[in-house]
Amino acid sequence: MERKESSSLRARRPRFYHLEQIIAHATWVIGCIAAIAVGFLWDWVWAAGIAIGTGLAWLNFRWLKQGTDALRVAMTSLASGQKAKVPVFVYFKTLFRYGLIALIIYVIFKYLKIPILSMITGLFALGAAAIAASMYEVLRPVD
């Protein structure tokens, strides 16, 4: 359960504190819009591939966030002289996330016959979301 934060704590946060959430949501929005557009203008099999690629891009982003959070916890506890308790699977996902995504894409291609290029195109939704969120942060007025 999340606690309500005081206004002084919110005031000390940098502007980009919620940028991770914005990127995660924008990945889904951009990927779904692209998949729907491709479905109507091109082919629904390609739209499914773009949607799958978008989901994998979001999964990659989540795994990266879990890895960096685990690294932060480990370094913070190491600095304070404590032992960090980070699950081994978090390290596994962080180190091998590209290989896992490639394996998932291969299995989907092999068994569902979804074009690989469409899934790779869906992976670009994360990059587009990161650019859009960064531009939003740069162009929005300072509070």
105-114: per-residue pLDDT in tens? Answer: 999 999 999 9
Stated pTM of the model: 0.76
Q: How many domains does the chain have?
A: 1
Does residue 69 lie within any of the structural domains?
yes
Q: 12 lies in a domain?
A: no
The pLDDT tens digits for 54-93 are: 999 999 898 888 888 777 777 777 777 777 677 777 777 7
Q: Is residue 53 part of a domain?
A: yes
Q: Which region holds residue 132: left if phi is over 0, alpha if psi is between -120 and 50, else beta?
A: alpha
Q: Give the domain range for residue 68.
A: 20-137
Of residues 8, 51, 48, 1, the one with CA closest to residue 29: 51
